[in-house]
Amino acid sequence: MITFTDREIQRAWRINLEASQVPSRNNAHRLLLFYAIECGLKAIVMKREGRNRTNLCPNVTDSGHNINKLLDCLSAGDSLKLPNKLLMTPIKKNAKREDRTCETKDINQMWRYGGTMLDSNGDPDLEKKLTNISEWIKQELDKP
């Protein structure tokens, strides 16, 4: 992982969050929302641990893209956590259906490569969960 400062991580959170705020999101907007949440949570970890660089904060580097792992590091509670396994739309191959699942740490891949969740409300429901986390991040970063 490339080293970033706490200010850069917080700026990335704000910029990605702002770019994701559109009336009708597609996967590109969802991906920015996902990355905004990841950056925001990492910024809180760094703030709580008194670190100003990512490479000095093992909880940041070890968590990768796993939102739930970051929430655990912050003792944020289960109500903010994302589902551990998500059902994606299946692949149809030679008239056979091949089911797919996505782990929390791989949501960015699902949206980056154009995947969607099996349930038509799945992506919007996941967006809502990410938005709830975003509200929590705002409160945490505003604390002295």
* Averaged confidence pLDDT in the chain: 94
Residue at 11 is within a domain: yes
Residue at 104 is within a domain: no
Classify the C-alpha dihedral 130-132-133-134 as positive or negative.
Answer: positive
Residue at 128 is within a domain: yes
Residue at 110 is within a domain: no
* pLDDT (0 to 100) of residue 12: 97
Query: Per-residue confidence at 19, pLDDT binned at 50, 70, 90?
Result: very high
Q: 95 or 134: whose pLDDT is higher?
A: 134
Could you tell me if 65 and 42 are in contact, meaning their C-beta atoms sit under 8 angstroms apart? no
**Residue 1 CA to its chain's centroid (Å):** 17
Rounded CA separation 72/90 (Å) = 30
Residue at 135 is within a domain: yes
The one-character DSSP state at 4 is -
Which residues form the domain of 32?
6-81+121-142
What average pLDDT score do residues 65-71 get? 97
Residue at 91 is within a domain: no
β-pair partners for 97: 92
Residue at 30 is within a domain: yes
Helix, strand, or coil (residue 113): coil
The number of domains in the chain is: 1
What average pLDDT score do residues 127-137 get? 96
Report residue 86: phi and psi, to 5°.
Answer: -120, 140
Task: Using the predicted structure, report yes or no on whether residue 120 has a pLDDT greater than 80.
Answer: no
Maximal C-alpha separation, the chain: 58
Residue at 17 is within a domain: yes
* pLDDT (0 to 100) of residue 144: 83
**Among the listed residues 31, 9, 34, the one whose alpha carbon sits nearest the alpha carbon of residue 141:** 9
66 conformational bin, left if phi > 0, alpha if psi -120 to 50, beta if neither: beta
What average pLDDT score do residues 107-126 get? 90
